[in-house]
Chain A
Amino acid sequence: MSYRRMRAICVKELHHIVRDARSLALALLLPVLMLLLFGFALSLDVDRIPTMIYDQDHSAASRDLVKQFSASRFFQIRGMATDYATVERGIDRSQVLLAVVIPVNYARDLAAGRDAQVQLLLDGSDSNTASIALGYSETLVRNYSLALRAEAMNRRGGQTLAPPVDARLRVWYNNSLESKNYVVPGLIAVVLQIIAALLTSLTIAREWEMGTMEQILSTPLRPAEMVVGKMFAYFVVGVADAAISLLVGIFVFQVPLRGSLLLLAVSICVFLCGALFWGIFISAAAKTQVAAYQGGILSSFLPAFLLSGFIYSIETMPWVIQVITHIIPARYVVTILKGIFLKGVGLSVLWGELAFLALYALIIFLLATRKLNQKLV
């Protein structure tokens, strides 16, 4: 490998990058845009569930229950119904997700010490949100009824009754359970994967289309020198994108960075090399810029988004898919980023992931070089 030839390629690519100001601006703005869009849209937190109340009882006791809902940050009361038709309309039109129906005899049953019943109606079409809403409302009603029962017993027996088991919860690593802290580090990895493929997927297909490849192939330049030279030029852009993404994550989304910034930087650089080589490989394999562009986006975006564990937990996937995720580089960088950001763990925990990313980069580099070599024949 000749350093001079690699440098010549790298400098030439940098000239292309700088000349094409529009693409460069896009390459630098795209991560910010994607982070902001996905970061805010992909909020997995369910709170302020739109709720409708149908209070048939109109008693002090029923109003007390309604107060429990309106005081909770998880529910937001959007309306009071006076008949079932209104409830139905509200759910059908997606104005509310949950309806709480308090039957006529609620206060009387409570006072008589009988089981009072409350009906919870849920829109189950978004099953994920519905089950979370169900959990919240069940918990709220159960806690409330326990409190009522304890109060009643107190009155009768004069003895304070504590719930039999009291679970003391402490959440580690993301103690406010905010989903942005979980989503954003993974999102940074996904965004970088896509950007890297976008940056390099055109670079060789364009030379074929323009006819410059034929000229280059008649020179002493070797495929490996071309791959490395091109990779380094786009690496500069990739690192700028990574820095921008990290700044957005830390300062806009306020994701806490608990681990080592150095380890974070090294991991991202290793990951970028592999992702950029992948784009070059796609570009060498595709004949045209259009095919290379589509291949680059699909082959980076889909696995990174679906199989990296960045939102969809790998543990809950079918085992075949779980096996496949092991060859998705995004999976490892998502683990590394979440580990460094949220847990603050270091190389002693993450070395395996880092080693995989390095190996991946090497393998893809060899593949890209081979692919380019085949075209020389």
Chain B
Amino acid sequence: MKSVVISDMVKRFGSFVAVDHVSLEVEKGEIFGFLGPNGAGKSTTIRMLCGLLTPTSGGGTVNDFDVSTQPEQIRRTIGYMSQKFSLYDDLTVEENIDFFTGIYGVAKEKRAERKQYVLEMAGLSERRRALTHTLSGGWKQRLALGCAILHDPPVLFLDEPTSGVDPLARGAFWHLIHDLAETGHTIFVSTHYMDEAEFCHRLALMYRGKVIALGTPQELKAGLKEHSLLNLESSDPLGTMRALEGLEGVRDVAVFGGGLHLTVDDAEATSPRVRQRLGKRGIEVRKLEEIQPSMEDVFVALIEAEERRAA
């Protein structure tokens, strides 16, 4: 069963095309990651799916309700966490929960149980009477997630839920998301943290309004298999970049942490040539090894390919 279907969706703001003919489908129970740099159109797409914006053309369904004509039905069956923290700072934890319980219309007999669930999930049972603005970032974010799932919605839209939250809290948050997926909830989550992409079942990479890649993390990494990736650490990274320019078999050199990542056609054939060239220039090679590409490598490669195509 499909929880979310997007077909040829377009959103224009004046002459700016924020979402450019996007099509994709999300299965029930899937954690679907929406990746891309800021301004790629992730939030706009999510807003259209939540019925906050109307698509310029094309459309989609959420829980089989049409985004253009049935936004009311959609709002009843989704949870949404917007990019900005959006609970009431001057209300207590409990008052925020009670408010959203009220406007989601949670049935009377379920209210106490849902509240208990959310308080425990967010780890806020002890601090239920604390004013929300006294909570730390991680807690606020878990409370916001809790408030978005009070009515137990089958589909959850999370727009960069982990931005501005410390790594430990991020880890805990992804645990919660996996727990929710295991109980049959569909999670549609956007992020610009590449490491978080690995936690998703499937990913779409969005760039300048377009989906430029779609698949499981493994599939996306496998897409890079026609090239190999070398990790190179040398005494002079800048000199190395200059030295390797135009060297046969080297497609791209990118700074990565303290070292360089080289995209090459064939690792075994190219490695000796690299050593030879650097030796001639008096640059010491400390480490040269073939590595498995990370998500970040995948995305850098995909975006560069897209840029080259556009140019």
Choose, from A11-19, A160-168, A293-301, A320-328, the stretch at the interface.
A11-19
Chain A residues, Cβ within 8 Å of B99: 8, 11-12
Chain A residues with Cβ below 8 Å from B84 are: 211, 214
1/0 per residue B78-120: CB within 8 Å of A?
Answer: 1011101111111100010011111111000000000000000
Decide yes or no whether B17 CB sits under 8 A from chain A: no
Whether the pair A220, B75 counts as a contact (CB closer than 8 A) is yes
Per-residue CB contact flags for chain A residues 1-38 toward chain B (1 = under 8 Å, else 0) read 01011011101100110011000000000000000000
- Which listed residue (B53, B75, B102) contacts A11, Cβ 8 A? B102
Q: How far is the CB of A375 from chain B (nearest CB, A)?
A: 10
Interface size for chain A: under 10, 10 to 19, 20 to 34, or 35 or more residues?
20 to 34
Interface flag for A112 (CB, 8 Å): no
> Given A12-B88, A377-B53, A377-B54, does the pair A218, B80 have CB atoms closer than 8 Å?
yes
Contacts of A2 in B (CB 8 A): 105
Does B232 make an interface contact (CB < 8 A)?
no
Give chain A's interface secondary structure class. Answer: helix
Asked whether, in the complex, the Cβ of B90 is within 8 Å of the Cβ of A221, the reply is no
Asked whether A221 lies within 8 Å of B103 as measured between CB atoms, the reply is yes
Q: Does B50 contact A (CB under 8 A)?
A: yes
**A317–chain B nearest beta-carbon distance, Å:** 45
Asked whether any CB of chain B lies closer than 8 Å to the CB of A95, the reply is no
Chain A residues near B291: list those with CB within 8 A. none
List the B residue with the shortest CB-CB distance to A18: B90
For A375, give the chain B residue with the smallest CB separation: B52
A-B pair count, CB < 8 Å, reads 77
For residue B51, CB closer than 8 A to chain A, the reply is yes
The reply to whether the CB of A176 lies closer than 8 angstroms to some CB of chain B is no
Q: Are B75 and A212 in contact (CB under 8 A)?
A: no
Question: Quick one: closest A residue to B75, CB to CB?
Answer: A220
Min CB gap A320→B, angstroms? 40
Q: Does A216 contact B (CB under 8 A)?
A: yes
Query: Which single residue of chain B is at the shortest CB-CB distance from A10?
Result: B102
A7 to B102 CA separation, bound complex (whole angstroms): 8
Judging by beta carbons under 8 Å apart, are A219 and B103 in contact? yes
Select B52's contact among A19, A212, A218, beta carbons within 8 Å: A218
Which of A216, A217, A219 has the most chain B CB atoms closer than 10 A to its own CB?
A219
Q: Is the CB of A215 within 8 A of B102?
A: no
Question: Is B105 a contact partner of A220 (Cβ separation < 8 A)?
Answer: yes
Contacts of B78 in A (CB 8 A): 218
Q: Cβ of B102 and Cβ of A8 under 8 Å apart?
A: yes
In the complex, what distance in Å separates the CA atom of A220 from the CA atom of B81? 15
Residue in B52, B76, B89, B95 whose beta carbon sits within 8 Å of that of A220 in the complex: B76
Asked if A60 CB lies within 8 Å of chain B CBs, one says no
Q: Which of B50, B53, B82, B91 touches A211 (beta carbons < 8 Å)?
A: B82
Given A12-B95, A16-B90, A211-B84, is A217 in contact with B103 using a C-beta cutoff of 8 Å? no
| A213 to chain B: closest residue by CB | B86
User: What residues of chain A lie closer than 8 Å to B88, measured between beta carbons?
Assistant: 12, 15-16, 210, 212
Interface code B60-83, partner A: CB below 8 Å = 1, 0 otherwise? 000000000001100110101110
Instruction: State the CA gap A218–B103 with chains docked (Å).
Output: 11
With contacts A12-B88, A19-B91, A211-B82 taken as known, whether A218 is within 8 angstroms of B102 at the C-beta atoms is: no
Q: Give 13 A-B pairs besides A9-B103, A376-B52 with Cβ atoms closer than 8 angstroms.
A: A11-B98, A19-B90, A210-B89, A211-B82, A211-B85, A215-B80, A218-B50, A218-B82, A219-B104, A220-B75, A221-B103, A376-B51, A376-B71
Chain A interface residues (CB < 8 Å from chain B): 2, 4-5, 7-9, 11-12, 15-16, 19-20, 210-212, 214-221, 376-377
**What are 24 contact pairs spanning A and B, CB under 8 A?**
A5-B102, A5-B105, A8-B99, A8-B102, A8-B103, A9-B103, A11-B98, A15-B91, A16-B88, A20-B90, A210-B86, A210-B88, A210-B89, A211-B85, A212-B88, A214-B84, A214-B86, A215-B80, A215-B81, A215-B87, A218-B50, A220-B76, A220-B104, A376-B52
Residues of B bordering A, CB below 8 Å? 50-54, 71-72, 75-76, 78, 80-82, 84-91, 95, 98-105, 148, 157
Q: 9 closest Cβ contacts across the A-B interface?
A: A8-B102, A211-B84, A218-B80, A215-B86, A19-B90, A214-B82, A12-B99, A221-B103, A211-B86
